[in-house]
Structure 1
Amino acid sequence: MAPQYDDTKAPKHVDALPRPINPQSDDETSSVGKGDILGAEHVDLVLNAKMHLVNNAIDEIGFTGYHWKLFVLNGFGYAVDSLLLLVQGNIASYAAKEFQPSFPKGLTIAVYVGMLVGALFWGLSADVIGRKFAFNFSLMISSVFAIVAGASPSWTVLGLFICLSAFGSGGNLVLDTAVFLEYLPSQSQWMITALAAWWGVGQLVAGLFSWAFLPNFSCATAATCTRANNMGWRYVWFADGALVLVMSLARIFVIKLRETPKFLIGEGKDAEVIDTLQFIANKYNRPCSLTLEQLEACGDSQAATSASHANFKFSPVEIFVHCRGLFTTRRMGLSTSLIWFSWLLIGLAYPLYNVFLPTYLATRGAEFGEQSQSVYWRNYAIANLCSIPSPILAGYMCRSKLFWGRRGTMIIGALVTMAFFFAYTQVRNNAQNLAFTCCISFCLNIYYATLYAYTPEVLPSAHRGTGNGIAIALNRVMGIISAVVATYANTSTPVPIYICAALYIVMALISAAFPFEPMGKRSS
């Protein structure tokens, strides 16, 4: 429902506060006047009032070319995250032939540790120093270490460079949704879900580079393996790193990102908010009637800022303040807890299926008949291609009453994925194997893409980076655990598939229990 304001508790200049507008429908195509998702939580009346005005202004400006640029450039972060995650899995066995390590799953742990630390570092810092810095430099960090990884002289050094590269990409993923969301008009919020199509693009690139280099430039056995005859996995890293470098440069030169208006509101920088919104409106010839006087009339900006930060920003207390802000009300606390639990579950299910899929499929070779390396990686690329359209479908589903909005889309995506997981255990030939792999790749990303979008949508702007960062960090923790499990368990059996299927049933139930539904409302 639309936010209600209690005049007995209102700040000064209460007459200037936005009054409740007619309750909005659940029509995602309407814009100005819709209620804010957290508007009824009474967290901070001054901040709520200002956020409501900023949302109206963003809706008034509408969707512009600036947003299309953000869709592409933020999508690069999605692509790089999935690209690096899959590349280390693809090249691990080839690098292991050359280095013969004692712990073959070390690269998987390295990439997840990097992503874990990156998610926490960039997520927490985004609520302290802003979104702009991470947007501009995290991919640059990732690209440099990805290129250097290709020149690694040992297994340990390779793991170190993969970890450092993942530190950039893992942290960047936290900001992709936040930056895009905090500029989007409400009628276009569904595009946060569609943004995950870039995740599939990264998977496809990982498959194509692996197909191009690994079959043709790799040694046959560990006994005959040297650097000279095993350059394939190094070429994969050089190519991936160069591509990420191009993406990082595009972020700096294609769009000169300004700090997001909603972050600036939480900082009490009302004048910069007006300047940013007017810049976009003037550049694309759109109306923007919001004035500095209207924002200042809502109340003291300093009071709103003090509620979002500790007395000294760069202190451990600052982290506590942002974490506490995610549990301000009972419904917000329940929402945050369920979101974090969902990320834990998918953090176990996704690696068991996707990261270890090459191992599982390779062990089925005796049943299916031996395939050439070229055919194997061709099929791998085809399966990854199928993950691109599903987030776009999910975007349309999550804005429709027919599919019950975001929560309904996640329920459907989880249950359909579960069904294909169970069916996958009955695969008996190559054609079935490829078909079911493509179906799972498609269906899995319906749930994953919607969860990625839902998480920042229902978090308060002042603490969005922290909440999103912790969610993704929990996901990475489970990735590390799954790598340890895979080391000591037999991943050639269907057991991981059954576990994944069961986890998706639980995720569907949690989705039904989420207390907030963003469809027809606006993020705070």
Structure 2
Amino acid sequence: MHLINNAIDEIGMTWYQWKLFCLNGFGYAVDSLMLLIQSIIAGSARAEFNPSFHNGLTIAVYVGMLTGALFWGLSADVIGRKYAFNYSLLISSVFCIVAGASPNWIVLGLFVCLSAFGSGGNLVLDTAVFLEYLPSKDQWLVTVLAAWWGLGQLVAGLFAWAFLVPAKWNCSVSGDPCTWNNNAGWRYIWFTSGALILVMSLARVTVIRLRETPKYLIGEGRDEEAVETLQFIANKYHKPCSLTLDQLQACGQFGQGRRASVTAHARSKWSPAEIGIHLKGLYQTRRLGLSTTLIWFSWLLIGLAYPLYNVFLPTYLATRGAALGETSAYLNWRNYALANFCSIPSPILAGLMCRSRIFWGRRGVMIIGALITMAFFFAYTQVRTEAQNLGFTMAISFFLNVYYGTLYAYTPEVLPSAHRGTGNGIAIAFNRLMGIMSAIVATYANTSTPVPIYICAALFAVMALVSAVFPFEPMGSRSS
């Protein structure tokens, strides 16, 4: 692994990595787009279908993302990274388009779940694939990758602004009984989102032909393929690469025992013991075990705080607007789009901060992001004017994603390569599990009150504390 890192550092940044930055960023954008679209269209779809369980779509999308994170995450350590990279967005786009033609609430929930299954594995693989090709001095770009998450949020807000404001596409605005003819706005959002995701999925297999990451190949004992991949990138972009197969084999021959594979896999990759091997690998030492546990706990906390605030933000914004005398759909969705726009520059700032020891590396950036977010959450409950309402919403969105974007990058950086997909997949699965819990909480609690805001503030205080006790700091070191 040391030799592979040396070779990647020697090659440096090329257009290959910059293409991955964009194509992996598509996965980030689709994940956030899917998550917010279902909450945006839920009200219009409910008005048309009159379901007995109003938060069913939220549970459907999180169930799909949970199973997707586990499926694609665990399979990434078994069959490799490139298959999820190539096919996950295509699966998501097909079911996203079909969801727009749903005849009832149950079918809509099914297709939302299946679409989320495709997109749910992207956050597991996007960071891993990008990180495993990055030179060590540029690892901070994994944090910046989260700007694509904000772009997905912005697109969701703009789609809502475009399709839910006109009365001809929204029966709640026109006041007529809801049918496909006068309530097609939410369907157009699904159709448009699916078409956009389809374009992204096609770009992934046409703009670049992803090769399996060298670090995964090393874990498999496939030294020759690892060298070939690095030499291919170096030759294509006219960069030096002095790594040879002899250098890798000098570290230990891979005979019948295939030493690397013995530590990374069970006797059969397809046996239940395979999962146990990867879980054991995440707890090989006490320090690594503590790190893994704290990372999973952090994802659990943000998994509850984020949907309580963001998925149910349209409801809270509407009630705040009513209290402030602003009740138009135009203003509600305008504010929603502006708040989501603020989540684009925040990961870029976080990435720049992660490069400096002034902020105590990744851990310090997460502490700062979590504490400032907590402060703005508490302040938001005292909003009295429309300008304050918009300003504090934008500030929360900005600083929340400083923390979130850094956590996304920190997780794969400190996980060992051979078990990175499993550890990352379980972390995101915990996140999705709490998303399901948030929907249940919202069913029996009043999300139009400030109570969820106070809960979110308390959760971010705990996140800051957990970040302070993380045992590893990736800044200045190379990922395994």
Partner of 1:119: 69
Q: Could you give the per-residue CA deviations for residues 381-427 of structure 1, whole angstroms, max 9, x where no partner exists?
A: 11111110000000011110110100000000000000000000001
Residues 35-184 of structure 1 mapped to structure 2, 5 A cutoff: 51-184=1-134
The percent identity for this pair of structures is 77
State whether structure 2 residue 349 is matched by structure 1 residue 423: no
Letter of the aligned partner of 2:59 in structure 1?
A: I
Letter of the aligned partner of 1:220 in structure 2?
A: S
> Aligned to 1:352, which of 286, 300, 308?
308
Q: Could you give the per-residue CA deviations for residues 70-98 of structure 1, whole angstroms, max 9, x where no partner exists?
A: 00000000000000100000000000000
> Aligned to 1:317, which of 253, 268, 273?
273
Partner of 1:44: none
CA distance in 1, matches of 2:444, 2:176: 25
Partner of 1:258: 211
CA distance in 2, matches of 1:288, 1:348: 45
How far the C-alpha of 1:378 sits from its partner, in A, is: 1.3
CA distance in 2, matches of 1:140, 1:225: 32
Residues 263-278 of structure 1 mapped to structure 2, 5 A cutoff: 263-278=216-231
Superposed CA RMSD: 0.9
Residues 312-391 of structure 1 mapped to structure 2, 5 A cutoff: 312-391=268-347
How far the C-alpha of 1:304 sits from its partner, in A, is: 1.1
Partner of 1:21: none
How far the C-alpha of 1:119 sits from its partner, in A, is: 0.1
CA distance in 1, matches of 2:456, 2:417: 33
Partner of 1:289: 242
Alignment coverage as a number of residue pairs:
474
CA distance in 2, matches of 1:267, 1:132: 15
CA distance in 1, matches of 2:116, 2:172: 29
**Which runs of 5 or more structure 2 residues have no equivalent in the other structure?**
none
CA distance in 2, matches of 1:185, 1:130: 21
How far the C-alpha of 1:371 sits from its partner, in A, is: 2.7
Helix, strand or coil at the partner of 1:259: coil
Q: Could you give the per-residue CA deviations for residues 323-344 of structure 1, whole angstroms, max 9, x where no partner exists?
A: 1100001110000000000000
Partner of 1:12: none
CA distance in 1, matches of 2:322, 2:202: 46
Q: Could you give the per-residue CA deviations for residues 465-506 of structure 1, whole angstroms, max 9, x where no partner exists?
A: 000000000000000001000000011111100100011111
Q: Are the aligned partners of 2:171 and 2:177 in contact in 1 as well (CA < 8 Å)?
A: yes
CA distance in 2, matches of 1:242, 1:371: 32
Partner of 1:34: none
Q: Could you give the per-residue CA deviations for residues 107-135 of structure 1, whole angstroms, max 9, x where no partner exists?
A: 00000000000000000000000000000
Q: Are the aligned partners of 1:367 and 1:429 in contact in 2 as well (CA < 8 Å)?
A: no
Letter of the aligned partner of 2:408 in structure 1?
A: Y
Q: Could you give the per-residue CA deviations for residues 340-374 of structure 1, whole angstroms, max 9, x where no partner exists?
A: 00000000000010000101111223311133212
Residues 196-215 of structure 1 mapped to structure 2, 5 A cutoff: 196-215=146-165
Residues 478-489 of structure 1 mapped to structure 2, 5 A cutoff: 478-489=434-445
How far the C-alpha of 1:428 sits from its partner, in A, is: 1.1
Task: Tell me the TM-score normalized by structure 2.
Answer: 0.98
Partner of 1:519: 475
Letter of the aligned partner of 2:241 in structure 1?
A: C
Helix, strand or coil at the partner of 1:364: helix
Letter of the aligned partner of 1:242 in structure 2?
A: A
Partner of 2:351: 395
How far the C-alpha of 1:156 sits from its partner, in A, is: 0.3
Q: Are the aligned partners of 2:321 and 2:332 in contact in 1 as well (CA < 8 Å)?
A: no
Partner of 1:220: 172
Letter of the aligned partner of 1:357 in structure 2?
A: L
CA distance in 2, matches of 1:310, 1:131: 19
CA distance in 2, matches of 1:229, 1:445: 37
CA distance in 2, matches of 1:333, 1:220: 52
Letter of the aligned partner of 2:68 in structure 1?
A: G
**Which runs of 5 or more structure 1 residues have no equivalent in the other structure?**
1-50
CA distance in 2, matches of 1:52, 1:175: 22
Q: Are the aligned partners of 1:207 and 1:381 in contact in 2 as well (CA < 8 Å)?
A: yes
Helix, strand or coil at the partner of 2:13: coil
CA distance in 2, matches of 1:300, 1:334: 33
CA distance in 1, matches of 2:322, 2:133: 52
Q: Could you give the per-residue CA deviations for residues 139-183 of structure 1, whole angstroms, max 9, x where no partner exists?
A: 000000000000000000000000000001111111000000000
State whether structure 2 residue 376 is matched by structure 1 residue 453: no
Partner of 1:434: 390
How far the C-alpha of 1:315 sits from its partner, in A, is: 1.3
Letter of the aligned partner of 1:263 in structure 2?
A: Y
Letter of the aligned partner of 1:290 in structure 2?
A: L
Partner of 1:188: 138
Stretches of 4+ moved more than 2 A in 1?
220-223
Q: Could you give the per-residue CA deviations for residues 308-327 of structure 1, whole angstroms, max 9, x where no partner exists?
A: 00001011110111111000
CA distance in 2, matches of 1:333, 1:399: 26
Q: Are the aligned partners of 2:97 and 2:190 in contact in 1 as well (CA < 8 Å)?
A: yes
